[in-house]
Amino acid sequence: MPWAKPKIYYDTMLGSTGSTLTAGSTATGDYSVAYLYNWLETNMWKAANTTTPMYITYDAGASNTKQADYFAILGHNLNAIGATVVLQYSTDNFAADINDAFTPFAPTVGTVLFREFTSPSAKRYWRLKITGTLSAAPYMTLCVWGLTVELDYATASFDPYHQEVKATTNITHGGYVAGIHIQYTERKLDLKFSDADTTLYGKIKAWWDAHGLKNLFIAWETTNSPTDVYLMRPDEKFSNPFTSTSTFRDISLSFTGRKE
């Protein structure tokens, strides 16, 4: 089966000007629903109870509409508590017009939950729906949906499973390993595109100008490896020089992220 091109997922309607995001239930404490789209792993939204259906609803605002073709969740307990999730959209605030963006599913893993789907026309209202007989209140660190940015085929080899264990190893005076303290495992992904055209460069520059050094989701190949979707951050350097033609560019992207 032919490979898909690498894709990045940073563009999200959540937090857009004039929009609102509300949760039907939020626990007491520092669990704001706004944390779901801040691209950080250091805080989360948590519900106050287990009553379902439970909704997190986005309203683009008066006279505004938004599109989406991807959905991602990270840092959650949805698999452990017996939840089923689906993203829905509507033109009338879910009064009569209620549509599923994809088939509802029950998560089986505690790692990234990800779905791509065919984008409907732009809608004002979107929501995450959580159902099931929950054994505990759900929580999520990140939950975003928006439009995919497809890049191009890399022109140099890369390893999508490159990892480096961050650890402190204690060595005795005699050279024996006395103990190993593992902190975490870090992913690395380096993509190179030689003689990239203005279309690809435009996508790269638009991402950099809008999102900068923030985390994003990246998939190196969704056709044959659809579960390989990682939360990563870009290198601080943005340099994509012209080639000798002064039209095409050599683009190098480096990403780093914590392995779940």
CB distance 252 to 191 below 8 Å = yes
- Which pTM does this prediction carry? 0.94
Q: Is the pLDDT of residue 100 over 90?
A: yes
pLDDT for position 27? 98
Which residue's structure tokens are 């490896």?
Answer: 225
Query: Given its phi and psi angles, is residue 167 left (phi above 0), alpha (psi -120 to 50 degrees) or beta?
Result: beta
pLDDT of 95: 98
Whether residues 24 and 89 share a domain: the answer is yes
- Condensed to tens digits (0 to 9), the pLDDT of residues 119-165 reads 999 999 999 999 999 999 999 999 999 999 999 999 999 999 999 99
| pLDDT over 90 (residue 170) | yes
Domain that holds residue 36: 7-150
Tell me what the mean pLDDT of segment 66-76 comes to: 98
Residue 190 lies in a domain: yes
What are the CA-CA distances from residue 148 to residues 69, 90, 110, 186 (Å)?
A: 6, 20, 23, 24
- Domain with residue 127: its CATH number is 2.60.120.260
In this structure, are 62 and 98 located in the same domain? yes
pLDDT tens by residue, 199-247: 999 999 999 999 999 999 999 999 999 999 999 999 999 999 998 777 8
Compute, in degrees rounded to 10, the torsion defined by CA atoms 132, 108, 56, 86. Answer: -80
Overall average pLDDT of the 75-85 stretch: 98
Q: Does residue 146 share a domain with residue 182?
A: no
31 and 126 in a common domain: yes
pLDDT band at 64 (very low <50, low <70, confident <90, very high): very high
Pair 254, 206 in one domain = yes
Q: Quick check: 89 pLDDT over 90?
A: yes
Q: What angle do CA 51, 52, 55 make, to 5 degrees?
A: 110
Give the pLDDT score at 144.
98
Q: Please say which residue of 115, 150, 185 terminates a domain.
A: 150
Tokens standing for residue 28: 């007491």
Confidence band of 192 (pLDDT split at 50, 70, 90): very high
| Structural domain count of the chain | 2
Q: What is the pLDDT of residue 2?
A: 83
